[in-house]
Amino acid sequence: MVMINGFMVYYFKYSTKIHNFGINYAPTMKKFFLPLFGVLAAATVQGQIAMSSTPPVAASLESNSNSINVVQQMPLVFSYESIDDYDVDQVIGNAFTIELAPRESTKFLFCQVVFLGPPQIGLAQRLGLKLRNPINVPYSGDFNHISYLSPQPVKIAEIGKLSPNTLQYDVVLRKQTQMEATGSFNFTLIFSIIDP
């Protein structure tokens, strides 16, 4: 008699690869980039001064109805610890708020996602935003659903005259069924508010 019994389940977890990105400028480009760095440095200083006291920010928002201020509430880090994490949506609740200036007419709010490094189309297509407490903020679609992002700007909200001036957003990374590139991938969410 031969009996076969028992199984062992093996689980493998591998260390994370981190990709570093760098930019090398040719010496001949100094003439172009030095003024640019000067402008960026000036903008940074201006931002620090503005954040140190409330009135300048409020004055700035009121003076330009297309002003936008994105305030990050939570780190936008999605970290998969188990293969089962891919089976469910990964959600960062109340990830950031968007402060808008008072307006006399409807504005369109756009967002695009830019991943750094190698192409990661699958990741960009799975990344989405969900508006919390969407009172008086009509979407281009049903605001109960998630607006999924792309490398091109996607309209995520229409801001009417009576819409609230502060919008809260969750960030969602949709569940996954296909293999994608593994590693660490930096991304940037770019928000724009424009007139229709």
Partner 1 sequence: MKTFILLFGLVGSSLAYGQQSINGLVESPPLSTVRLLSSNDRPLDFSSIENYTNGQLIQNYCQLEVKSNHSWVLSAVLNDYSGVGGILTSSPDLIKVKVQGTNQFVSLVPGVPIPIFVSNNQLLRNSYVIDVWVDPKLKLGDHSIKQLQLSFQLASN
Q: Which residues bind partner 1 (CB under 8 A)?
A: 1-17, 35-36, 38-39, 64, 66-70, 72, 75-80, 82-84, 86, 96, 123, 171, 173, 176-195
In the complex, least distance from residue 143 CB atom to partner 1, rounded to whole angstroms: 21
Task: Give whichever of 17 and 142 is closer to partner 1, judged by the CB atom.
Answer: 17
Query: Nearer Cβ to partner 1, position 7 or 25?
Result: 7
Contact 110, 70 (CB under 8 A): no
If the CB atoms of residues 48 and 144 are measured against partner 1, the closer one turns out to be: 48
Pairing of β 90-100 and β 147-148? unpaired
Determine phi and psi for 173, rounding to 5 degrees: -115, 110
DSSP 157: E
The closest of 189, 193, 157 to 173, measured between CA atoms, is 189
Q: Which is nearest to 189 in space by CA: 141, 138, 128, 143? A: 128
Q: Between 35 and 141, whose beta carbon lies closer to partner 1?
A: 35
Rounded to the nearest whole angstrom, what is the least distance from the CB of residue 130 to partner 1 in the complex?
Answer: 15
What's the token pair of residue 27? 């010496």
Minimum Å gap between C-beta 133 and partner 1 is 20
Report, in Å, the least distance between residue 52 CB and partner 1. 18
Does residue 134 sit in helix, strand or coil?
coil
**Smallest separation (angstroms) from partner 1 to the CB of 12:** 5
Q: Between residues 148 and 191, which has the closer beta carbon with respect to partner 1?
A: 191
Label the pairing between strands 68-72 and 166-173.
unpaired
